[in-house]
Amino acid sequence: MRLISAYLLGLLFGLGITISGMGNPAKVVNFFDVAGSWDPSLAFVMAGALAITFIGYRLVLARPRPLQEDRFFLPTSRVIDARLLGGAVIFGIGWGISGFCPGGALPVIGTFNADVLIFTAAMLAGILAARLMLKRRELALAARSAA
Amino acid sequence: MTTEFTPYAALIGGAMIGTASVLLMLLHGRIFGATGILAGILFPAGARDWSWRVMVVLGMVSAPLVYLLFAGRFPPIQSVASVPWQVVGGFLVGIGVTIGSGCTSGHGVCGMARLSKRSIAATLTFMASTALTVYVMRHVLGG
């Protein structure tokens, strides 16, 4: 049941991405191209998603726990630091170049389009590289505080 | 490259993304962030935590097939970047979302809906960075 619902929610999300045009790089990039071929559709995607999630989360998070787990898994970090904002800047550069974000690219992998497959492979490499870098930094910091 | 303004499809698709996010919280108690879900697959924290993530991604990937079944064609994908630029873009996206702990779905939808200051700051930052990049790629470097 838990795995079936996970599958169906992934499917619902993926259909939302493909129907809304978030999986189409030209549409995404045109949203940001106010000085050129502007297409405001993306604002409607965000508005639709945020309206439902804003109201839905208030109802759901008022419950003591989710239906299939014994607690909610919510991010606990509160700090707005250079790491958060630097990461966001780098992500934005990549998104602006390719027009794919992770949630936009993953569903359209299913079309076997060559560009999205190449993008996703490079993205996975980037995730691994960043993880490695963060791990090294952590180890270096731990070594420094131990010394 | 111009694209057609599609407010209704965008709103309906967005509402579906929002519904999936709300239901993942209700059923699984999890944030629907593509970055976080993918990271948990690449770096597993136990079988029970791994399996639901794999199923979410399998569901996502099968969406174009269901779309094909109803629409009679795959969803349109109009590329804006050559292969070398896809590699650069993909690599930067991977690094950025890992360092910044989230992307459009995690920070932009789920985090903003929770009114998380962190997510609002991250979303405003990557939207500005994306807009600037698109401007440079299209109007400075020319495309």
Q: State the complex-level ipTM.
A: 0.97
Q: Where are the domains of chain B?
A: 7-140
A44 touches chain B (CB under 8 A): yes
DSSP alpha helices (H): ranges in chain A?
A: 2-20, 25-32, 41-60, 82-98, 102-108, 114-146
- Tens digits of residue pLDDT in A49-76: 999 999 999 999 999 999 999 999 999 9
Cβ neighbours of A50 in B, within 8 Å? 14, 18, 109, 112-113
Give the pLDDT score at B80. Answer: 96
Cβ neighbours of B25 in A, within 8 Å? 56-57, 60-61, 66, 72
pLDDT cut 70: percent of chain A above it:
100
| Mean pLDDT score of chain B | 96
- Tens digits of residue pLDDT in A2-55: 999 999 999 999 999 999 999 999 999 999 999 999 999 999 999 999 999 999
Which residue is closest to B92 within chain A, CA to CA? A94
Per-residue pLDDT of chain B (143 residues; tens, 9 = 90+): 899 999 999 999 999 999 999 999 999 999 999 999 999 999 999 999 999 999 999 999 999 999 999 999 999 999 999 999 999 999 999 999 999 999 999 999 999 999 999 999 999 999 999 999 999 999 998 75
Cβ neighbours of A44 in B, within 8 Å? 7, 10-11, 14
> Taking a C-beta distance cutoff of 8 angstroms, is the pair B32, A6 a contact?
no
Give the pLDDT score at B143. Answer: 54
Separation of first and last alpha carbons in chain B: 9
Give the pLDDT score at A146. Answer: 81
Average the pLDDT over A121-125 and give the result.
98
Question: Smallest Cα–Cα separation from B122: which of B95, B101, B92, B93?
Answer: B101
- Return residues 110-129 of A near B (CB < 8 Å): 110-111, 113-116, 118-129
CB contact under 8 A, A49 and B12: no
C-alpha distances out from residue B27 to A5, B30, B105, Å: 8, 8, 18
- Tens digits of residue pLDDT in A83-112: 999 999 999 999 999 999 999 999 999 999
With b for 16 or more beta-carbon neighbours within 10 A and e for fewer, the A37-69 pattern comes to eebebbebbbbbbbebbbebbeebeeeeebeee
